[in-house]
Amino acid sequence: MNPSLSDLISNRRVLILGFGREGRALLDWLLLNFADQHFFVADGNPDLPVLAQFSHYKQRVTFILGPKYLESLNQFDIIVKTPGISMGLLQHADRTKVTSQTELFLMLFRNQVIGITGTKGKSTTSSLIYHIMKLNNPNTVLTGNIGIPPFSVIDSIDNETNIVMELSSHQLELVNHSPRTALFLNLFEEHLDHYSSYQAYQYAKSRIALFQLESDYFIYGADNEDLLTLVESSVFPGKPVPFSLSEVEEGFFFDGRKTVCTLSGMKGEVVSDFSATRLRGLHNMGNITAAAAACFLNKVPVEVIREGILSFQPLEHRLEYVGIHKNIEFFNDSISTIPEATLAALQSLGRVHTLLLGGHDRGIDYSKLLQIKSDDVQLMLFTGNAGKRMMQLLKVSGENSPKMVYFETFEQMVLYACGNTPSHERCLLSPAASSYDQFKNFEERGTIYKQLIQNYFSKLG
């Protein structure tokens, strides 16, 4: 074990704040590595279903559960906060005691980490980088926001391990160490239910590169206006490496058919053929270019990068082709939680007859959806409070608007789409809203969407 981590934890009162996937992974690791130490867990859920898994450790773990779980925070030396708990709930706590798994992990391994953040495209880009890096070096791990807690892979890491880490704003907000290779894809208005302002969200994201060294690489999306403004108004110590869908003097760009590196001393083609990639859409060409840049700067040969891009399988719920039923093509883009993602999906697919929108309303600006006209979409279906607000906004826009229908439930909306999308047309779920009103996450929403479609057409025979 790293001595600095041992010194930090040994003989200290350590509280794990939040007992989801990350919290459980950390407790597992602490109990294994600190055999004589007692630990504490606090969570707002008084009936955690996972408690039975830790019953044999009851002499070594104290659980503080229910509505008063935040009351005794100042009794602890270290509070390891999980991403799902807002810092806004910890106003009464000594902030110097609050840390996160991400911070502890980066403190140990930042020199081996390629970290990826951005409002959209994180999981696809992280998975693509991992796929390419693993082709080049099997001693590669993937962790972070993609659903693999850092402390669940920590014991498989040695000095030669490549670490690919997807990082959300929630994971970054407490870090004081940045990855050696930091990739910042884009910035859009998001998570306003968690942050006091869009600026606060941007600042949390920016911590991926704020603590880099001058010898580190900071790769960023030069086509995104908000991100470009942030980069130009901030001090990021790492070497700046922009990526773009148009030519840049120093960086990486996609020229419509290939990715080119224009950095001094490294100039040349990185990817020459995109025609066989399974990733669809111009936004994914940007993700590929960003991934190629990160791998190239980490000394992966160009032939391995090319092989990885062409053999990569797209992730579920990200402009996923569901199938064809009664000559109707169905697509699942449940990952879409902002208008920009929906517009990108429409741009990728071209003509779409039926578009399914709505969900949990987090107060973000939906005015960009006004760009959608009846030439692009003929039928727009809505659900949830976000759907109500979208529909009101689009109805006011007047002429050349698609037909619109609102539904109380997601299931009603999907079944209507199945029955009212004509043969030889396309139906797309790209909600532009969070799923938390009717589902636990976007994955569940996408899975239910596919099940409802399958069940509908199975009954038709």
pLDDT digits (tens, 9 = 90+) for 355-391: 999 999 988 899 999 988 888 899 999 999 999 999 9
User: Is the Cβ–Cβ distance between 345 and 333 less than 8 Å?
Assistant: yes
Same domain membership, residue 299 and residue 361? no
Are residues 152 and 231 located together in one domain of the fold? yes
Q: Tell me the residue length of the chain.
A: 461
Kindly report the CATH number assigned to the domain that includes residue 401: 3.90.190.20
**Tokens describing residue 26:** 């950390």
- What local confidence, expressed as pLDDT, does residue 141 receive? 97
Domain co-membership, 187 together with 297: yes
Same structural domain for residues 63 and 159? Answer: no
pLDDT of residue 196: 82
Say whether 421 sits in a helix, a strand or coil.
coil
Residues 79, 226: one domain? Answer: no
Residues 245, 138: Cα–Cα separation, whole Å? 31
pLDDT at 2: 66
Q: What is the mean pLDDT of each run of 10 residues along the chain (461 residues)?
A: 79 94 92 92 88 78 93 94 88 91 95 96 95 97 92 93 96 96 93 80 96 98 96 96 95 91 89 78 91 97 94 89 92 93 89 95 91 89 96 80 93 97 96 93 96 93 71
Domain boundary among the residues 277, 311, 345 is at 311
Question: Domain span at residue 180?
Answer: 102-311
Asked if 158 and 292 sit in the same domain, the reply is yes
Long-range contacts of 303-311 (CB under 8 A, 24+ apart): 304/132, 304/135, 304/136, 305/132, 305/270, 305/271, 306/271, 306/272, 306/273, 307/135, 308/128, 308/131, 308/132, 308/135, 309/128, 309/132, 309/271, 309/274, 309/277, 310/273, 310/276, 310/277, 311/131
Assess whether 306 and 419 both reside in one domain.
no
CATH number of the CATH domain containing 189: 3.40.1190.10
Whole-angstrom distance, CA of residue 182 vs CA of residue 394? 38
Among 311, 345, 372, where does a domain finish?
311
Whether residue 217 is found in the same domain as residue 350:
no
| CB distance 399 to 440 below 8 Å | no
Read off the pTM: 0.83
For 299, phi then psi, to 5°, come to 65, 30
266 and 340 assigned to the same domain: no
CA 90 and chain centroid, separation: 24
Residue 246 structure tokens: 């148009």
Tokens of 250: 């120093």
**Whether residues 141 and 161 fall in one domain:** yes
For residues 201 and 263, state if they share a domain. Answer: yes
How many domains does the chain contain in total? 3
Q: Does 61 share its domain with 121? A: no
pLDDT of residue 1: 58
Question: What pLDDT score was predicted for residue 154?
Answer: 93
Q: What is the CATH number of the domain that holds 39?
A: 3.40.50.720
- Taking CA 157 as the corner, what is the angle to CA 151 and CA 159, rounded to the nearest 5 degrees? 140
Interatomic CA distance for residues 398 and 377, integer angstroms: 15
Which of 74, 93, 112 corresponds to the end of one domain?
Answer: 93
Instruction: Tally Cβ neighbours within 10 Å of residue 143.
Output: 27
Please choose, from the candidates 434, 399, 406, 278, the residue with its C-alpha nearest in 3D space to the C-alpha of residue 348.
278
Burial 212-250 (b: 16+ CB within 10 A, else e): beeebbbbbbbbbeebeebbeeeebebbebbbbbeebee
pLDDT at 206: 97
